Structure 1
Amino acid sequence: MTDLITKPSRRSFLALTGSAALAACARAPEVDPDDPVTRYGFAPIEGYGPLVDGEYSLPPVPPQYLEWPNRRQLVFYEGERPAQTIEIDPYAKFLYYVLGDGTAWRYPIAVGRAGLALRGQTVIRQKKEWPGWQPTANMLRSQPEVYGPFARGVPGGLASPLGARALYLYRGGRDSYFRIHGTNDMKSIGNSGSAGCIRLFNHDIIDLYERVSIPTEVNIRTEADSLRLLGPTMSPRGVELPPTIVSPESIYGATEVGAEDPGV
Structure 2
Amino acid sequence: MLKRRSFLAGGAALGLSACGLPARDMAPPLSPRIPPQAPVMPPLPAHYGAITDEPFPIPALPENVVPPHLWRQEVDNPFPHDPPGTIIVDPDAGFLHLVGQNGRAMRYGAGTGADAFAWSGDARLQFCRSWPRWRAPDQMIARQPELAPYSVANGGMAPGPGNPLGARALYLFQNGEDTLYRIHGACEPEYLGQAVSSGCVRLLDHDVIDLHERVQHGTTIRVLPSLAPARFAGLY
- Normalising by structure 2, we get a TM-score of 0.73
Q: Distance in 2 between matches of 1:70 and 1:208?
A: 15
1:158 Cα deviation from its structure 2 partner: 2.3
Hey, what's the Cα distance between the residues in 2 that align with 1:221 and 1:99? 19
2-structure distance, mates of 1:53, 1:175: 31
Counterpart CA distance in 1 for 2:91 and 2:60 is 25
Distance change in 2, residues 1:73/1:138 (3 Å) = same
In structure 2, the partner of 1:174 is 177
The answer to whether the Cα contact below 8 Å between 1:84 and 1:97 also exists between their aligned partners in 2 is yes
Give the aligned residue type for 1:70.
L
Deviation of residue 183 (structure 1)? 0.7
Aligned residues: 191
**Mapping of residues 1-264 of structure 1, within 5 Å:** 1-2=41-42, 45-79=45-79, 80-113=81-114, 116-145=117-146, 147-148=147-148, 150-151=150-151, 152=154, 153-183=156-186, 185-195=188-198, 197-223=200-226, 240=232, 242-243=234-235
Alpha-carbon contact 1:97-1:105 (below 8 Å) kept: yes
Provide the secondary structure at the position in 2 that maps to 1:53: coil
Q: Which runs of 5+ in 2 are unaligned?
A: 1-40
**What letter matches 2:178 in structure 1?**
D
Question: Per-residue deviation at 1:221?
Answer: 1.8
Change (3 A) 1:136 1:113: farther
Amino acid at match of 1:167: L
Give the Cα–Cα distance (whole angstroms) in 2 for the partners of residues 114 and 203 of structure 1: 26
- 2:130, 2:88 → 1: CA distance? 22
Alpha-carbon shift at residue 91 of structure 1 (Å): 1.3
Describe the shift of the 1:144–1:114 C-alpha distance in structure 2 as closer, same or farther (beyond 3 A): farther
Rounded to whole Å, the distance in 2 between the matches of 1:48 and 1:115 is: 32
Query: Do the aligned residues in 2 keep the contact of 1:178 with 1:197 (CA within 8 Å)?
Result: yes
Aligned CA distance change for structure 1 residues 63 and 115 (closer, same or farther; 3 Å): farther
Aligned partner of residue 66 in structure 1, secondary structure: coil
Query: Percent same amino acid among aligned pairs?
Result: 34
**Structure 1's 68 and 115: CA in aligned 2 closer, same or farther, altered over 3 A?**
farther
Mapped to 2, the partners of 1:135 and 1:47 lie a distance apart of 31
RMSD of Structure 2 on Structure 1 (CA) = 2.4
SS in 2 for 1:154: coil
Unaligned runs of 5+ in 1: 4-43, 225-235, 245-264
Instruction: Give CA-to-partner distance per residue, 1:215-243, whole Å, 9 cap, x none.
Output: 1111122346xxxxxxxxxxx59x73655
Distance between the aligned counterparts of 1:90 and 1:162, measured in 2? 19
Q: Distance in 1 between matches of 2:116 and 2:185?
A: 14
Deviation at 1:117, TM superposition (A): 2.9
Query: Which segments of structure 1 move beyond 4 Å, counting only runs of 4 or more?
Result: 241-244
Quote the Cα distance in structure 2 between the aligned partners of 1:186 and 1:200.
9
Deviations 1:59-86 (CA, angstroms, capped at 9, x unpaired): 1011223212120011111123211110
Instruction: Please tell me whether the aligned partners of residues 131 and 166 of structure 1 are also in contact (alpha carbons under 8 angstroms).
Output: yes
Aligned residue in 1 for 2:33: none
TM-fit CA distance, 1:159: 2.2
Q: Which moved more, 1:175-184 or 1:148-157?
A: 148-157
Letter in 1 for 2:42: T
Deviation (angstroms), 1:114 = 8.6
CA distance in 2, matches of 1:106, 1:185: 18
Larger relative contact order (CA 8 Å, sep ≥ 6): 1
